[in-house]
Structure 1
Amino acid sequence: MRHNNSGRRLGRTTSHRIAMFRNMVTSLLNHERIVTTDAKAKEIRSVAEKMITLGKRGDLHAHRQAAAYIREKSVVTKLFSTIAPRYKDRAGGYTRIIKLGQRLGDAASLSVIELVEEAAPQQS
């Protein structure tokens, strides 16, 4: 029985799954939009939103917690300096999942997961 066991296994070992989530969240925060399968998008959504909430907190402990999960220092800096201030007035719901259809090779359902509010356009 699987009582109180939430989350998807995605056909991977625990260490592989955690490493994949860390890589995907790092890519999502770096590029602000990634294409992946529906199941993976639904799983990384909660982790990404927790990282943005850490960024909104902005204290030293939150910075260290985010740095322990996110793989690149430049992405941690981007999270605290540009992404988190964008959502200072929003109480959750920082990501959006848009279904794309099926992948040609294996008919897996694809989705785009992206950050909700786009970055302000650069004025030059």
Structure 2
Amino acid sequence: MRHRVKRNKLNRYASHRKALVKNIARSVFEEGSIVTTTVKAKVARTLVEKIITKAKKANAAENPVRKMALSREINKNFNDRKLVDKIVNEIAPKYQDRNGGYTRILKIGFRRGDASEMSLFQLLPVDEK
């Protein structure tokens, strides 16, 4: 029985899956959008949304200790302080008045080699709501 089993394993062991999701999230934050399979995009969406939410809290924090703590939590995923600064200072302020839904997945067709469904996984532009 699969009661309360929510995670999609992507046919990978745990450490490989975590690395894959973190790499997809890193690419989305660096590039703004990537092309990947629909299933991988849906799995990575949760991490990207949580990171943006933490970055919004860090950006709005008046207490510098709280801001540093939240930035370090984000840094646990990437181990790259320049990327964390970009997320907290450039990306998060754009979504300050938005309550979730920072990404979208647009299906673009099927991959020629194995017919996997491909999608464009991107951060939403600021003007859309």
| TM-score, length-scaled by structure 2 | 0.88
Aligned-residue sequence identity (percent) comes to 39
The unaligned stretches of length 5 or more in structure 2 are: 59-66
The residue aligned with 2:124 is 116
CA RMSD of aligned residues (A): 1.3
Give the paired residue count: 119
Partner Cα separation in structure 2 for residue 49 and residue 71 of structure 1: 18
The Cα of 1:118 is off from its aligned counterpart by: 5.2
Between 1:66-75 and 1:47-56, the stretch displaced more is: 66-75
Deviations 1:8-49 (A, max 9, x none): 111000110001111111111111101100000001011100
The Cα of 1:72 is off from its aligned counterpart by: 2.6
Matched, 1:106 2:114: yes
8 Å CA contact 1:95, 1:113 repeated in 2: yes
Aligned residue runs from structure 1 range 45-56, under 5 A: 45-56=45-56
Q: Secondary structure at the match of 1:96?
A: strand
Aligned residue runs from structure 1 range 21-40, under 5 A: 21-40=21-40
The Cα of 1:110 is off from its aligned counterpart by: 0.1
Aligned residue runs from structure 1 range 55-94, under 5 A: 55-58=55-58, 59-94=67-102
- Comparing both structures, which one devotes a greater share of its residues to helix? 2
The residue aligned with 2:63 is none
The change in CA–CA distance for 1:71 and 1:105 in structure 2 (over 3 A counts) is: farther
| TM-score, length-scaled by structure 1 | 0.91
The change in CA–CA distance for 1:98 and 1:71 in structure 2 (over 3 A counts) is: farther
- Corresponding residue to 2:103 among 89, 95, 98: 95
